[in-house]
Structure 1
Amino acid sequence: MYPLKFYPILKERLWGGTKLKEVLHKPIESEITGESWELSGVKGDISIVSNGALSGTSLQQLIDDRAAELLGKSVVARFGKDFPILIKFIDAKQDLSVQLHPNDKLAKERHNSFGKTEMWYVMDADDGANLIVGFNRDVSKEEYTESLKNDTLLDLLNYEKVGRGDTFFINTGKVHAIGAGVLLAEIQQTSDVTYRIFDFNRKDKKGNLRELHTEQALDAIDYKKKDDFKVNYGSNPNIVNPMVDCPYFKTDYLHLTENWNLDLSKRDSFTILMCVSGSARIANENGTADIKNGETVLVPAVSRSLSITTDNVELLEVTI
């Protein structure tokens, strides 16, 4: 159970562009690739190992065969044989639709799915790029509904200008959208349940408006203005800088300018390392994996220690 890499699962999107190819060097020919799913247990989109002796094995097969070793006993106790995290890189050439995600309760009742709490780390942003996160004031359900009828929803939304390194925590119920010109890393609960509430009246390549989930969203939206989304974190080199610690995942920022050793002997969880700049070699007791900007490594829970060989790398470290 060495550090595992996986083939990216590439998704064309109406709003996608070419940064996943040009900046992160993904194997893409399309001009509208919007998402690279790096680590996925979503049914129909299960990640496949790309390195070492287990190359060609699916993430689900590894979990079925060796769940406790890969995930950790406490993770198995909580999630069974479902991989609880979905890891993506997203390139928005155009604005994404304004959307939100239901909480666990609603998602279970309606879709037999987890809810979708997520976080974003901005890797690159064009000048003037922004995100939509929440409302700019408290809004009533009636006022919200009226804004949909009058095509004035955008007047109620909160816009945040962004640059590299900006990080946002998006809890369930919060309306949000990634703006044009943003390339980001996304960490989220394993769920593909999204309620789209506004799509700038765009049409797909067949000339059709995309489906909106107006009625489903009404009871899932948090209508309050809340300044709970911007993540303030340290960026000091060669120490662990905490970012997000929520019930679904814990993320730390590591900027390493020298070799680094991590004791995992008390950690009963897998560890995900997303590389957002530079390169490194990741090693546990059973093998190594090289990682560079735009790549992701899954370190099995059975690992007792981890060494990172580098002279300059920025990593997002994700655990349960």
Structure 2
Amino acid sequence: MELYPLIFEPILKDRIWGGTKLKNDLGKNIPTETTGESWELSDVAGDVSVVKNGTYEGKPLTELMNTYPEALLGSKVYQQYGAQFPLLFKFLDARSDLSIQVHPNDELAKERHDSFGKTEMWYIMQADEGARIIVGFKEKSSPEEYLEHLENKNLIEILNEVPVKAGDVFFLETGTIHAIGTGIVIAEIQQTSDITYRIYDWDRVDANGKSRELHVEQALDAMNYNTTDTKKEYTKVLNTSNIAVDCPYFTTAYLPLTGEANVDKEGSSFTVYICTEGDYTLTANGTQYSFKKGDTILIPAGLKQYSLSGKATLLEIYIS
């Protein structure tokens, strides 16, 4: 495999809650004024990413994984997952509140949907003044209490609303009831899954007067009714990978780059960099590659040594 940083065509999604910040803040060529998501790197069936740079331009991610599984994914990842990409990377622009929802765990998702579960993390890239998210219950709840509040349209009274600012990190294990609030741009890292149980959608209807499907029954046994501690504190040492989230599905580090950082990997996992601020250059095998805010790149596992230089804020993601 020719080893170089891969960048992919964004897969843009129109959403009832979407806006224009993906264009204005991140330079995405959005097709509508209600574009809510940019899928940066995906192996979800029907939404497989396509390379947009270098030798493999125009090739779908699936073809590269089938042709060069270990060089792309890494020895450990290939052994664990085979020739499938286990993570999904997105940017989200919430012009208005997303639905209140929950994601099933691996066992439930496999049984019902033949899919991975959906453990995920959020990095808050931008937040309007007063912005908040909904994560978990205020106090330990129960299916009965939850259903009663849902029926009475006051579910929000028993949910935990958390104010947010740029740089905040939240880790959401499966089963955590949640919603991204109005006025937030998020970088999301999650398992490869598009399984969402929508519980409450603020009584919204689309342009045709139709409301979106709810999954109240399916959510009942997927939900964690205990309180959860989702916010993650992390260090911000310059030119260093500061681990913010470390779970069985992925590790995410915060890398504030000012100057140069040399990277030496062992080849067990691919690495993904999301640029949330600034711009930088990656140098590998004597070649320089330039990236900017809004770029998500995939470093094949076979590319073990390279350097990063510039002034940028990066999220570094791999499977440990």
Same fold? TM cut 0.5: yes
1:38-84 Cα distance to aligned partner (Å, 9 max, x none): 00001111101111111111111000100000001111111111100
- TM-score where L is the length of structure 1: 0.97
Is residue 313 of structure 1 aligned with residue 315 of structure 2?
Answer: no
Match of 2:80 among 67, 78, 81: 78
Q: Which runs of 5+ in 2 are unaligned?
A: none
Map 1:248-267 onto structure 2 (within 5 A): 248-264=249-265, 266-267=266-267
How far off its partner does 1:284 sit?
2.5
Q: Which amino acid letter does the alignment assign opposite residue 254 of structure 1?
A: L
How far apart are the structure 1 equivalents of 2:255 and 2:76? 25
Q: What do the CA deviations read for 1:221-248 (whole angstroms, capped 9, x no partner)? A: 0001122x00100112122211000000
Equivalents in 1 of 2:140, 2:68: separation in Å?
48
1:55 to 51, 54, 57: 57
* Cα distance between partner residues in 2 of 1:240 and 1:217: 36
Letter in 1 for 2:256: H
Question: Aligned partner of 2:154: which letter?
Answer: T
Cα contact 1:106–1:220 (8 A) shared by 2? yes
Give 2:170's match in structure 1, choosing from 145, 149, 168. 168
Q: Say whether the 8 Å CA contact 1:283–1:289 is kept in structure 2.
A: yes
Aligned to 1:294: 294
Amino acid at match of 1:244: V
Q: Number of aligned residue pairs: give it.
A: 317
Equivalent position SS for 1:259: strand
Q: How does 1:265-284 map to 2 (within 5 A)?
A: 266-284=266-284
CA RMSD after TM alignment: 1.0
Contact 2:121–2:188 under 8 Å retained in 1 = yes
Partner of residue 91, structure 1? 93
The answer (yes or no) to whether the contact 2:37–2:93 under 8 Å persists in 1 is yes
**Greater mean alpha carbon deviation, residues 235-244 or residues 96-105:** 235-244
Residue 205 of structure 1 corresponds to which residue in structure 2?
Answer: 207
The AA in structure 1 aligned to 2:93 is D
Quote the Cα distance in structure 2 between the aligned partners of 1:138 and 1:101.
18
CA distance in 1, matches of 2:286, 2:120: 31
CA distance in 2, matches of 1:16, 1:171: 24
Give 1:145 deviation, angstroms.
1.2
Give ranges in structure 1 of 5+ residues lacking alignment. none
- Name the structure 1 match of 2:304: 304
Identity %: 52
